[in-house]
């Protein structure tokens, strides 16, 4: 793995361009005129590894649905994919993206349950950030009529993950308390909404100060991510909390365990602290990995505590739990119909604006979900930024000029 | 702790006798003529640290119930107490024992809910192995009419622990599978019975071969503890199991985690592998502790697994969860009334036979629960054994002559 890491840092613009031109050749040589736009990650690394290019249009295989994509969800995990710090990523060039919404364009053989024209949302094992995707029917769900495509792309991953953590892993019940990091993010907002469907649940949220005004009503208590939240929570609830949801990892794991009440459950559902910058990410990642404090089961025994890990993508694509996820999705769509939950969309971005969108999520600037809107044209400022294939610093200067009021 | 361990091995018969005579002095000097029989642990170590002696009768304090004890439960944990390998044990001499049944003899001030003559079962924070105990009212429960005192002493700890692990920590539901070590023991039999109250639950039990005939009907699949149970379970259920209940610790922790299905829960509820012999136990304990494989939370994340620790005694006496335990006890007594569960009693022993009873549980000879029957007289053979204050080897020779058909 160390070798792979070293290779990654040696990727150059030259390689990216070569790959892109190779792909273009493939498209032409196959004689297939059908093409689509897609975001392509040329190699693991910084934002400059991303570009929008033409790719051959996929066709649905047995049991697959072909979707004309309208909107795609952007998650912190996509940053980890870009940096190559997820477990067993495919070899680049690759099209990132794990969820989308759109319209069924055709279905493969032996595919039942969907018809051309159906409005759907879907999980995809990579390849979501494109104009067209194909994915097995098990990962496709019909959208409620009143749901927009942007909402649908913001719904699947965040709400399914939040629901499964709260109710499948941790067994949330009346009167319990929940601590959630990144309370302003997509999962954080889904967690807050789902907690409000259970009577008398106290939600402690942690978020950057500038988000507090926007999300104050969604949680019971809100703390700045830069304060000592352990002390703050203990002032209000000296016994601690019943559930800690942590997407950060690192030192928060030990802190989270400290905060648990007896029989409480700590759930690690991400490791965003492992994304520390634009470059040399693999080494930061390896360092963070080894620094995560390991847990002695006997300590859990003495303290009556539970520690869990939750990865929805692994559950879907590695562990074959799509029927369980389907049943969860049914429950969630029920709650949506009852207007008890509603995805929070932070902002919409054109495919060509994916770098700026990624930087925003990296900087934790978002409140709710970032969406790639496939039909959106990039704003002139972004086009300018895209044309500057400069250094990381130049990109940052460009981003500082961005007006977030979309 | 290392110093304490070294001290323990220096304990001598002389010290024990000195302690006993000191206690006798205390009883006399207090001018209190009321005395009771109790099992006293003079110091941490082997079986020879135990004896039955007279102690001052306790009187109930505010909020306490005084119980004339009829039967006491003997648990593997009591062996760990004897060896001093539990977390923060009291300083010996002490009276062991955490659960009993009996009749309310009096109540302290501000004690409501119980009257003299009530048949009760109770948790006690040590001191259960005596003719009389006092314990806070929160730890006392009325016995169903048809329940015997022996059954009641076999009920509380095992069934509450089994219930809370299956339903509070792990959320057992229809169609799930459970692996339980020591399936023939008190908790193992309670687990098997509680699993049978949920439709279509598969129970994989592990037990010594000689118990198989007796407990075959209580579980779905039964394996010898000496075979490679991982392979055997995977032959039947290649995906693994949903819940692993482990009272052994050590290498079984890693094995248990391997066997878990995605979203499965491994629960460590004891550490009986840490009791390895009669002497030098502290060092075996420390060695085992450090050899327990620690768990990386990120691995749990990738594998979608849950690891939990469960200690009912800590929950009751350290973590203040007696109202939760009370609600669990209510549910269990309901199941008992419906004849869906029934404690399995292995054997009854006089207080004076506590060494033989402990050896039996150490050797994992029991099927179900060992009970100290306070009103039972020791059988002549045991009396003989008790009179021989010999070496460990001599004691073992004595025990080999015991006829287990009680």
Q: pLDDT tens, position by position, for chain A (406 residues)? A: 333 333 333 333 333 333 444 444 443 444 445 899 999 999 999 999 999 999 999 999 999 999 999 999 999 899 989 988 887 889 999 999 999 999 999 999 999 999 999 999 999 999 999 999 999 999 999 999 999 999 999 999 999 999 999 999 999 999 999 999 999 999 999 999 999 999 999 999 999 999 999 999 999 999 998 888 999 999 999 999 999 999 876 677 888 889 999 999 999 997 665 555 544 445 555 555 556 678 888 889 999 999 999 999 999 999 999 999 999 999 999 999 999 999 999 999 999 999 999 999 888 889 999 999 999 988 765 444 444 443 443 333 333 333 333 2
Q: How far is CA B161 from CA A191, B154, B181, B256, in A?
A: 30, 12, 14, 19
Q: Which of A171, A270, A309, A310 to mutate to test the interface with B (most CBs of B within 10 A)?
A: A309
According to the model, what pLDDT value does residue A373 have?
Answer: 97
Q: Which residues of B257-293 are buried (b: 16+ CB within 10 A; e: fewer)?
A: bebbbbbbbbbbbbbbbbbbebeebbebbeebbeebe
- Angstrom CA distances, A41 to A20, A134, A286, A354, B315, stand at 10, 19, 22, 11, 51
Residue B376 CA neighbour count, 13 Å, CB half = 21
CB contact under 8 A, A87 and B310: no
Name the residue among B253, B263, B271 with its Cβ closest to that of A168.
B263
Give the closest residue to A277 by CA, choosing from A262, A265, A293, A288: A288
CB contact under 8 A, A306 and B301: no
Q: Strand, coil or helix: what is A236?
A: helix
- Least CB-CB distance to A314: which of B87, B295, B304? B304
A and B: number of Cβ contacts within 8 A: 132
H-type helices in B84-227, by residue range?
A: 149-163, 186-195, 212-215
DSSP-assigned letters across all residues of B147-183: --HHHHHHHHHHHHHHHIIIIIIS---TT-EEEESST
Other residues' Cβ atoms within 10 Å of the Cβ of residue B1: 9
Query: Which residues lie across from A245 on neighbouring strands?
Result: A180, A267
- Give the C-alpha separation, A227 to A224, whole Å: 6
Beta carbons of B294 and A292 less than 8 Å apart = no
Contact B300 A294 (CB under 8 A): no
Cβ contact A295:A258 at 8 Å: no
Residue A108, both tokens: 């493969």
Q: What residues in A contact B174, CB-CB < 8 Å?
A: none
Instruction: Answer for the pair B246, B261: CB distance below 8 angstroms, yes or no.
Output: no
User: Does the CB of B304 have a partner CB in chain A at under 8 Å?
Assistant: yes
Q: Which residues contact B144 (CB under 8 A, 6 or more apart)?
A: B333, B336, B337
Tell me if A62 sits within 8 A of A11, measured CB to CB: no
A398-402 — which CB contacts under 8 Å span 24+ positions?
A399/A356, A399/A359, A399/A360, A402/A356
Q: Are A365 and A404 in contact (CB under 8 A)?
A: yes
DSSP character string of A140-167: EEEPPTT--HHHHHHHHHHHHHHHIIII
| Cβ–Cβ under 8 Å, residues A181 and A192 | no
Q: How far apart are CA A270 and CA B174, in angstroms?
A: 30
- The distance of Cα A392 from the centroid of its chain, to the nearest Å, equals 23
Kindly state the tokens that stand for A221: 């208590």
Among the listed residues B295, B234, B291, B294, the one whose alpha carbon sits nearest the alpha carbon of residue B261: B234
Q: Return d(Cα A340, Cα A332) in angstroms, integer.
A: 9
Asked if the Cβ–Cβ distance from B298 to A289 is below 8 Å, we say: yes
Residues of chain B with C-beta less than 8 angstroms from the C-beta of A311: 301-302, 304
First to last CA, chain B: 41
Interchain contact B321–A (C-beta under 8 A): yes
User: Alpha-carbon torsion A316, A320, A325, A326, what sign?
Assistant: positive
**A296 contacts on B by Cβ (under 8 Å):** 289, 292, 294-295
Q: Give the B window 203-262 contacts with A, CB below 8 Å.
A: 249, 253, 261-262
Q: Is B45 helix (H, G, I), strand (E, B) or coil?
A: coil
In this structure, the strands spanning B260-268 and B306-309 are parallel
Which chain B residue is nearest to residue A256, measuring alpha carbons? B297
pTM over 0.80: yes
Interface of A with B in 274-293 (CB under 8 A): 289, 292
Using alpha carbons only, give the angle B257, B262, B264 rounded to the nearest 5 degrees: 60
The two tokens of residue A401 are 């000029």
What is the full per-residue pLDDT of chain B (406 aa) written as tens digits? 333 333 333 333 333 333 444 444 443 444 445 899 999 999 999 999 999 999 999 999 999 999 999 999 999 899 989 988 887 889 999 999 999 999 999 999 999 999 999 999 999 999 999 999 999 999 999 999 999 999 999 999 999 999 999 999 999 999 999 999 999 999 999 999 999 999 999 999 999 999 999 999 999 999 998 888 999 999 999 999 999 999 876 677 888 889 999 999 999 997 665 555 544 445 555 555 556 678 888 889 999 999 999 999 999 999 999 999 999 999 999 999 999 999 999 999 999 999 999 999 888 889 999 999 999 988 765 444 444 444 443 333 333 333 333 2
Determine, for residues B253 and A307 on separate chains, whether the beta-carbon distance falls below 8 Å. Answer: no
Distance CA A102, CA A71 (A): 7
ipTM over 0.90: no
pLDDT of residue A21: 42
> Out of A168, A292, A303, whose CB is closest to B298?
A292
The pLDDT value given to residue B274:
55
pLDDT, residue B289, reads 54
Peptide bond into A93 cis (omega under 30): yes
Q: Which residue in the set A164, A301, A314 is minimally distant from B310, CB to CB?
A: A301
């Amino acid at each position: 793995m160390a070798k792979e890491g070293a290779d990654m840092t040696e990727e150059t613009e030259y390689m990216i361009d070569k790959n892109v031109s190779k792909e273009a050749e493939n498209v032409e040589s196959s004689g297939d005129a059908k093409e689509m736009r897609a975001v392509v990650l040329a190699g693991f690394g910084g934002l400059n590894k991303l570009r929008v290019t033409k790719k051959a249009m996929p066709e649905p295989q047995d049991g697959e649905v072909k979707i004309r994509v309208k909107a795609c969800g952007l998650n912190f995990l996509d940053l980890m994919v870009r940096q190559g710090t997820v477990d067993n990523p495919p070899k680049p060039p690759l099209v990132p993206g794990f969820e989308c919404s759109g319209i069924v364009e055709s279905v493969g053989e032996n595919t039942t349950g969907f018809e051309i024209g159906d409005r759907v949302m879907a999980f995809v094992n990579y390849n979501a950030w494109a104009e067209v995707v194909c994915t097995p029917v098990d990962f496709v769900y019909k959208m409620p009529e009143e749901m927009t495509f942007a909402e649908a792309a913001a719904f699947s991953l965040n709400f399914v993950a939040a629901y499964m953590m709260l109710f499948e892993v941790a067994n949330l019940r009346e009167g319990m308390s929940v601590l959630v990091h990144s309370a302003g993010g997509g999962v954080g907002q889904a967690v807050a909404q789902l907690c409000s469907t259970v009577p008398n649940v106290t939600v402690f949220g942690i978020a950057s100060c500038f988000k507090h005004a926007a999300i104050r009503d969604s949680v019971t208590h809100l703390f700045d991510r830069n304060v000592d939240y352990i002390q703050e929570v203990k002032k209000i609830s000296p016994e601690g909390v019943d559930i800690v949801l942590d997407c950060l990892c690192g030192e928060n794991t030990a802190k989270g365990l400290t905060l648990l009440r007896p029989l409480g459950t700590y759930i690690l559902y991400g490791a965003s602290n492992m994304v520390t910058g634009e470059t040399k990410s693999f080494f930061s990642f390896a360092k963070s990995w080894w620094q995560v404090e390991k847990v002695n089961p006997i300590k859990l025994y003495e303290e009556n505590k539970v520690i869990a890990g939750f990865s929805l993508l692994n559950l879907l694509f590695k562990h074959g739990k799509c029927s369980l996820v389907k049943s969860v999705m049914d429950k969630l769509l029920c709650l949506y119909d009852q207007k008890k939950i509603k995805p929070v969309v932070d902002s919409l971005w054109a495919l060509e604006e994916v770098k700026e969108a990624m930087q925003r999520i990296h900087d934790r600037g978002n409140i709710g979900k970032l969406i790639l809107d496939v039909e959106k044209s990039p704003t002139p400022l972004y086009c300018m930024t895209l044309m500057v294939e400069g250094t990381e610093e130049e990109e940052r200067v460009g981003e500082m000029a961005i007006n977030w009021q979309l």
